[in-house]
Amino acid sequence: MDLFEHQGKEIFARHGISLPPAAVAETPEEARRAAERFGGRAAVKVQVQIGGRGKGGGIVLAKSPQEAEESARRMFERGFGGMAVTRVLVESLVDIASEFYAALTLDRSRGTYIAMVSSKGGVDVEEIARTDPATIRRVAVDPRIGLKAYQVRYLTGHLPEEARSGTASLLPKLYDVLIASDATLVEVNPMALLRDGTVIPLDAKVTVDDNALARQPEVAALRSSFPVDPTQARANDEGLQYVKLDGEVGIIGNGAGLVMSTLDVVTQAGGRPANFLDVGGGASAEMMATSLEVVLSDPAVRSVLVNIFGGITRGEVVARGLLDALERVDADMPIVVRLDGTNAEEGRRILEEAANPRIVPAPTMLEAAARAVELARTSPEGVHG
Amino acid sequence: MDLFEHQGKEIFARHGISLPPAAVAETPEEARRAAERFGGRAAVKVQVQIGGRGKGGGIVLAKSPQEAEESARRMFERGFGGMAVTRVLVESLVDIASEFYAALTLDRSRGTYIAMVSSKGGVDVEEIARTDPATIRRVAVDPRIGLKAYQVRYLTGHLPEEARSGTASLLPKLYDVLIASDATLVEVNPMALLRDGTVIPLDAKVTVDDNALARQPEVAALRSSFPVDPTQARANDEGLQYVKLDGEVGIIGNGAGLVMSTLDVVTQAGGRPANFLDVGGGASAEMMATSLEVVLSDPAVRSVLVNIFGGITRGEVVARGLLDALERVDADMPIVVRLDGTNAEEGRRILEEAANPRIVPAPTMLEAAARAVELARTSPEGVHG
Amino acid sequence: MSILIDETTRLLVQGITGKEGAFHTLRNRDYGTNVVAGVTPGKGGQDVDGIPVYETVAEAVDATGADTSLIFVPARFAADALYEAADSGVELLVLVTEGIPVLDMVSAVGYLRGTSSVLLGGNCPGLISPGKANVGIIPGEICMRGSVGLISRSGTLTYQIVHELTQRGIGQSTCVGMGGDPVHGIGFVDALRRFEADPETESVVVIGEIGGSDEEQAAAFISQEMTKPVVAYVAGLSAPPGKRMGHAGAIVTGSSGTAQAKVDAFEAAGVRVGRNPTEVAALVAA
Amino acid sequence: MSILIDETTRLLVQGITGKEGAFHTLRNRDYGTNVVAGVTPGKGGQDVDGIPVYETVAEAVDATGADTSLIFVPARFAADALYEAADSGVELLVLVTEGIPVLDMVSAVGYLRGTSSVLLGGNCPGLISPGKANVGIIPGEICMRGSVGLISRSGTLTYQIVHELTQRGIGQSTCVGMGGDPVHGIGFVDALRRFEADPETESVVVIGEIGGSDEEQAAAFISQEMTKPVVAYVAGLSAPPGKRMGHAGAIVTGSSGTAQAKVDAFEAAGVRVGRNPTEVAALVAA
């Protein structure tokens, strides 16, 4: 779960990290009043769950309260990177001497956390990592020991003398945020040395492990502030992974790998997937029914491909769920069903006995994909239940 | 550093552990008033830094406030196990269903902590450990992971059903005490299941790592409540390890092993050591001087044996310290000095040049011991500076 | 031969009395796996269709000589189940449980490195040495004994590809589902090394997907150390790029994480890459 | 041969610029030890009498190929110094620092088990392979090259016994001071195993003292696995019993911890025990 900058900074503040005075604004007027409080000049920063704000116009340095108001209004109206914008952060300007980069994140390949400090920040740090790797120092962090003192000395050893002790006291606090919040990413870009000698985060990118939200109720509660699509929300509530795409073949499968592969074969067959929907392991009949409803709620869908290979998921449960769903939703389009694995034969028999005219059985994944693509082409447009 | 029971229990309470109502009394009258508050009947428990109170009469179950007062008075007057008693703990009586034993301590041989629970407590658990080892379950605890849930289940699995969940919630708190207080022992004997179903510690033996006192200022401050011998206190203040013994040959050495060995050879030579004094590694002239003053302050001392084998400790520093001390204290007894190791030759030369009549050089440890024992026999009695 | 499990495997199931635990335990036993014990705290002394249930793993190991544990406990107890199994000397831990917090896995994986236990998973379907033992939730009926080793980050996609192999009459030595969680036990390189050393395995199928850099590492290992032929598949060629939050991930891996980058890495290492599961099976047959 | 250190040892000193650090570093170098580097944070680029000082252990190892580290840092930095040295690939860590909190040592010793680094100490005098290398604070001039291996819990008592051996013309292969702290690195059993395997070592002296159960474990190891003769000494035969707080310690060790119990354990294992340092040397000479 990706937090807004201001949410990340609120967590930072709770761990004793100094930050510039700032206020969240949900209207242009609130942005203006905040800028007034900060003496007229302020940074207005769009709050979104993606990066690239600096380059993409998501951060405006307003020279007056009016300019802050106008910038905020534009942000609310236009959104950012295709996402709705419901709040901006208005932040007092600070006197920056130089900018660096710091991050703590997961190193999947080693199964540890990793801490990184770059002596260059505020710019394209990925490019720096490629072209000038010596500017980025990194260390592995074992959570059973924590960030070791010698590691902090090493991480800060290539910074200008005057930035070292400030960064050295900031890093353990960022590490505390990582562990205490079950985060998988705590990124500060830029981390700024101010003219007064302090080192503070100017940005905060915090991603919290979804698997840990049950033990992070305060963090989980922040979800309520995120802009949500109602279809997406419904899918999530049922434990389904649903991503809307641009095509016309609705796709339901079990297991992320199989669903991705199904998208690939549909594409290879000349079709365009309308979505990614993973019902997960051990799907219930109810989850299958909800999946079908979710996919069918997309008006662009012309055919649906259900591709289930059972392990924990059982074929007869899938079949009953599909039949249940077809009693609840009036699906006037073909649903190509391909079932294999655990109890698949029973599932196929149930579907055969039900003899629902919408259900088109297919023996293999490739044939199912070809059939779904073909049916999407010939299916009547715009007739939905 | 061994804490009084009541100090251990105060730490327990800060970690959310339930305990019987109790009050510390420093006079018999305070003990009486506390017993009155607890309804007349109360346990009066001597507060000392040693075990064996149960068998040794250090715990009295008083049936009235008067009895509590009298018991406390006896304790203050008589001391316990040769130690002065300055406070007793008066504790409300609880309704005990059964008694067990729990401890967390260091396992030196494995270099880990160990947690133990015995299904028999309140009695001689060492005897139980020998005769009926199955009653004691033990697990190794890695502080980088903590007491694991499965270990708590195992540790409590042999207790009566009704004591398991109470003990299972108590153990992690005792572990927190161990780690948070830098303790090397947290022992609860007995740990009691009460008739109301709760499990509570009735005693608390907590030993804190002396090496960690610098980062445990609250615990270190408890030292001020311990009865102290002024000579002992002076030695400790200088970083000297001093233990008073019953003999007449004062002993000063560097390194606990060498001092112990010096005690042994003095004993083998027919003498009796008057003390154990380890000046430690890298002793300064000042520490040597204080050592001599400390040893000479014991009126039973008839001769002194200084046995130094230098590593970090340097011979010339030892020699100068001894000469300094002899200018400050009027030592009218022989001081046998045996110096070897780092800069020993220089040290021997300095002593030779000083030609102090009190200083008797000896070439080897055995000869030094023999000489010191012999001189103690012939030294005039009772003439001290 | 085969890798990790075979007919000598003595299987213990942690969380055997749960619904999924009991279901798959009995399926594994029906397959012929030597299921010797189960563990569920509070249910010691019971049995699951004749399989004795113990209070602790240590007791179960003492009583039955179990050397492999299949773990179905709820996510919040998963790390503890790993500690218990490793501390009790179990050699192979197969963790099916999904939804385990990353921090728990980082701690547990670090701890296990200091023991002699080997972890597969979490969030994994387990593994099967067809005709010998099935440990986990891979449907045994789709597999066939043979000489193709298979290692996969995916669950059901694995079944799909195994199914395609079997339908062509191509059997498998061992099929390993390593799971898709970011921090996990046995990975591509571990499995490839074992397959390279296994006399029964003649070729290997590697099934990857977008994200991370496991495939790139596998490709590097294959080009340097594998003598047996490898066929790969990478799911997600048509996946849209994900929305990115920060730069740290890309800096750590030095990889874009796209399926195409992984396909390119495999092909540069001389690995034949199938465009879909059917083509994978065809390449193995070729 | 010898154990742990010899003429090929490349020594690095952590805390080289401190008073004791500098003093003993130069003594070690004067002895002939190949001291290649020092580390003191904030003093990288300086030198100590020509020995280059680096900012980090990793830099020092990269620049000089150091394989052994002698550690003199203050107690509160000791665990971090161990982590840094181990993470930088140093093979042998000799920790002289005393007064390190037990919790720090338990954590560090647990961490080091997962690495290839070997720890000696803390609160130890170090070790010397006479005529080859001296790493620590043992006075080199009291030692003499020869075939007696020596391992001791004590510091100065070790010097005493080495001194007695040398005065009788009995040389030493390696003298190891393991230190007296309750949680430590190399112990009696580790050292005995190395001495048993070392061709230069013909007999071994073990120097114990009251407390703990290290001597009892050494006795068990000697009776089961040592072929070379062992002479032991245990300090504290005349020590009065300590005042006891709880029972846990005795339950853990199953031992009284007295010197006499240790002497008995050694003698039961066929080890000759000297009553004082002089007698130890006489027994070795016999």
On the question of pLDDT at B382 being above 90, the answer is: no
Question: CA nearest A52: which of C256, C242, C247?
Answer: C247
**How far, in Å, CA of C148 to CA of A155, rounded?**
46
What is chain C's mean pLDDT, rounded? Answer: 95
pLDDT at position A381 is: 57
Please check the confidence at residue D241 and state whether its pLDDT lies above 90. no
- Cα dihedral sign for B59, B63, B65, B70? negative
Ranges assigned E (strand) in A57-182: 59-62, 88-92, 96-107, 112-118, 136-141
The yes-or-no verdict on residue B383 having pLDDT over 60 is: no
- B145/A145 touch (CB, cutoff 8 Å), yes or no: no
Express each pLDDT in B63-88 by its tens digit: 999 999 999 999 999 999 888 999 99
Catalytic residues of C: 247
Residue of D55, D81, D107 lying closest to A145 (CB–CB): D107
Q: State the average pLDDT over residues A265-294.
A: 91
Among the partner-chain residues D57, D58, D111, the one whose CB lies closest to the CB of A145 is: D111
- Do residues B90 and B59 touch, judged by C-beta distance below 8 A? no
pLDDT at D12: 98
Neighbouring CB atoms inside 10 A of A385's CB total 12
Which phi and psi angles does A96 have, rounded to 5°?
-90, 130
**Percentage of chain D lying above the pLDDT 70 cut:** 100
* Residue C263 pLDDT > 90: yes
Site from D106, D107, D115, D154 to mutate, B interface, most B CB atoms within 10 angstroms: D106
With helix as H, strand as E and coil as C, how does A316-349 read? HHHHHHHHHHHHHCCCCCCEEEEEEECCHHHHHH
Q: How far is C45 from chain B (nearest CA, A)?
A: 13
- Nearest by Cα to B171 from B97, B101, B99: B101
How far is A241 from A251, CA to CA, in rounded Å? 12
CA-closest candidate to residue B307, choices B283, B329, B326: B283
CA distance A147 to chain B (A): 13
* Interchain pair C214, A311: CB under 8 A: no
pLDDT grade for A380, boundaries at 50, 70 and 90 = low
DSSP state of C238: T
Optimal mutation site among B112, B142, B144, B179, interface A, most CBs of chain A within 10 A: B144
Q: Are B92 and B39 in contact, with CB atoms under 8 Å apart?
A: yes
Flag if D154 and B257 touch (Cβ within 8 Å).
yes
Whether A310 and C245 lie within 8 Å, measured CB to CB = no
Integer Cα distance of D23 and B355 in angstroms: 30
How far is the alpha carbon of C47 from chain A, nearest alpha carbon, in Å? 22
Asked if the Cβ–Cβ distance from A150 to D80 is below 8 Å, we say: yes
Reported as a pLDDT band with limits 50, 70 and 90, residue A382 is very low
Q: Answer whether B150 sits within 8 Å of C80, measured CB to CB.
A: yes
A235-249 pLDDT per residue, tens: 988 889 999 999 999
SS3 C108: helix
Chain D residues within 8 A of B120 when measuring between CB atoms: none
pLDDT at C41 over 60: yes
Whether residue D247 lies within 8 A of chain C, CB to CB, comes out as no
Please state which of the ranges A120-124, B90-94, D48-52 shows the lowest mean pLDDT: A120-124
Q: Which residues 252-281 in chain C show a CB within 8 A of chain A? A: 252-254, 275-278
Q: How far is B318 from chain D (nearest CA, A)?
A: 14
- The reported pLDDT for the residue numbered A384 is 42
Q: What are phi and psi of C192, to 5 degrees?
A: -60, -40
- What was the pLDDT predicted at B36? 96
Query: Measured between CB atoms, does A136 come within 8 Å of chain C?
Result: yes
C chain contacts of residue D110, beta-carbon cutoff 8 Å: 114
B339 band by pLDDT with thresholds 50, 70 and 90: very high
**CB-based contact (8 Å) between D113 and chain C?**
yes
Secondary structure (DSSP) of C121-172 = ESS--EEEETTTEEEESS-GGG--EEEEEEEES-SHHHHHHHHHHHHTT--E
Give A141 to chain B, closest Cα distance, Å.
Answer: 13
- What domains does chain C contain, in order, with CATH numbers? 10-121 (3.40.50.720), 126-285 (3.40.50.261)
Question: How many angstroms away from the CA of C158 is the closest CA of chain A?
Answer: 8
Q: Output the pLDDT for position C207.
A: 97
* One fold for B1-19+95-227 and B230-378: no
Q: Do the chains contact at B153 and C81, CB–CB below 8 Å? A: no
Is D115 in CB contact (< 8 Å) with chain A? no
Catalytic residue among D24, D163, D184, D247: D247
Which residues 115-134 of B are in CB contact (within 8 Å) with D?
A: 116, 125-126, 129-130
pLDDT score for C47: 97
Determine the longest span between alpha carbons in chain C, in angstroms: 56
| % of chain B exceeding 90 in pLDDT | 77
Instruction: Choose among C30, C29, C26, C56: nearest CA to C43.
Output: C56
- The single-letter code of the amino acid at B368 is A
Contact D81 A150 (CB under 8 A): yes
Where does the pLDDT of residue B381 fall: very low under 50, low under 70, confident under 90, or very high at 90 and above?
low
Instruction: Residue D78: name the closest of D14, D29, D158, D168 by CA.
Output: D14
Query: Which residues of chain A approach chain B closer than 8 Å at the C-beta?
Result: 144-145
Confidence of residue B137 (pLDDT cuts 50, 70, 90): very high
Provide the whole-model pTM: 0.92
pLDDT at position B331 is: 79
| Longest CA–CA separation in chain A, Å | 78
C109: nearest CA in chain A?
A: A111
Query: Subunits that touch chain D (at least 3 Cβ pairs < 8 angstroms)?
Result: A, B, C
Inter-residue contact C12 to C36 (CB < 8 Å) = yes
C113 and chain D: CB distance < 8 Å anywhere? yes
Q: What is the mean pLDDT of residues A173-181?
A: 98
Residues from chain B contacting residue C59 (CB–CB below 8 Å): none
- Chain C hits for D108, CB-CB cut-off 8 Å, are none
Residue C180: pLDDT band with limits 50, 70, 90: confident
- What is the fold of B230-378? Rossmann fold (3.40.50)
> Is the pLDDT reported for residue A303 higher than 70?
yes
Query: Please, which residues bridge with residue D172 across strands?
Result: D148
End-to-end CA distance of chain D: 24
Which of D136, D149, D234, D157 minimizes the C-alpha distance to D197? Answer: D149
Query: Least CB-CB distance to D160: which of B109, B129, B309?
Result: B309
C77 inside 8 A of chain B by CB: yes
What is the reported pLDDT for D253? 77
Catalytic site residue D247?
yes
List the 114-173 stretch of D: residues with Cβ below 8 A of C.
114
Please check the confidence at residue D119 and state whether its pLDDT lies above 60. yes
Query: What distance in Å separates the CA atoms of residue A182 and residue A218, rounded to the nearest whole number?
Result: 12
Query: Taking a C-beta distance cutoff of 8 angstroms, is the pair C135, D134 a contact?
Result: no
Whole-number Å distance between alpha carbons of B262 and B373: 12
Rounded Cα distance between B231 and B331, Å, is 17
Chain A, nearest residue to C24 by Cα: A312
Parallel, antiparallel or unpaired: strands C118-121 and C68-71: unpaired
Catalytic-role residue among B67, B187, B238, B293 = B187
Neighbours of chain B (3+ CB pairs under 8 A): A, C, D
**Contacts of B63-68 spanning 24+ positions with Cβ under 8 A:** B64/B35, B64/B40, B65/B32, B65/B33, B65/B35, B65/B36, B65/B40, B66/B32, B67/B35, B68/B31, B68/B32, B68/B34, B68/B35, B68/B42, B68/B44
Query: What ranges in chain C are assigned the alpha helix state H?
Result: 19-31, 57-64, 78-87, 102-113, 156-167, 188-197, 214-225, 248-253, 259-268, 277-285
The Cα–Cα gap between B151 and B144 comes to 15
Any chains having at least 3 CB pairs less than 8 A from chain C are A, B, D
Question: Is any Cβ of chain A less than 8 angstroms from the Cβ of C212?
Answer: yes
Higher-scoring residue by pLDDT: C60, D212: C60
Task: For domain A1-19+95-227, say whether CATH 3.30.470.20 is its number.
Answer: yes
Long-range contacts of A375-384 (CB under 8 A, 24+ apart): A375/A302, A375/A303, A375/A333, A375/A334, A375/A336, A376/A248, A376/A249, A376/A271, A376/A302, A376/A303, A377/A302, A379/A302, A379/A303, A379/A333, A379/A334, A380/A332, A381/A302, A382/A299, A383/A332, A383/A333, A384/A296, A384/A299, A384/A330, A384/A332
Contact D56 A150 (CB under 8 A): yes
- Residue of A67, A69, A187, A238 marked active site: A187
Q: What is the mean pLDDT of residues A347-358?
A: 93
Calpha distance B266→B260 (Å, rounded): 10
| Candidates D12, D56, D76, partner chain A, best to mutate (most A CBs within 10 A) | D56
Q: Which chains touch A (3 or more CB pairs under 8 A)?
A: B, C, D
Q: Is A169 exposed, middle or buried (0-12, 13-18, 19+ CB in 10 A)?
A: middle
Tokens of A332: 């006037």
Picking from A97-106, A108-117, B307-316, C186-195, which range would have the lowest pLDDT averaged per residue? Answer: B307-316
Backbone phi, then psi, for A217, in 5-degree steps? -60, -35
- Which comes out higher in pLDDT, residue B378 or D72? D72
Distance from CA of A302 to the nearest CA of C (A): 19
pLDDT, position D152 = 96
| Residue bearing tokens 């003993």 | D24
B125:D247 CB<8 A: yes
Do the Cβ atoms of C55 and B145 come within 8 Å? no
Span of A99-113, B228-242, D6-20, D110-124 with lowest mean pLDDT: B228-242
Choosing among 3.30.1490.20, 3.40.50.460, 3.40.50.970, 3.40.350.10, the CATH entry for B21-93 is 3.30.1490.20
Find out whether A12 and A20 touch, Cβ atoms under 8 Å.
no
SS3 B160: coil
Q: Is C111 on the interface with B (CB under 8 A)?
A: yes
Q: Is C245 on the interface with A (CB under 8 A)?
A: yes
Residue boundaries of the structural domains of chain A: 1-19+95-227, 21-93, 230-378
- pLDDT category, B343, cuts 50, 70, 90? confident
Name the minimum distance, in Å, from the CA of D41 to any CA of chain A: 8
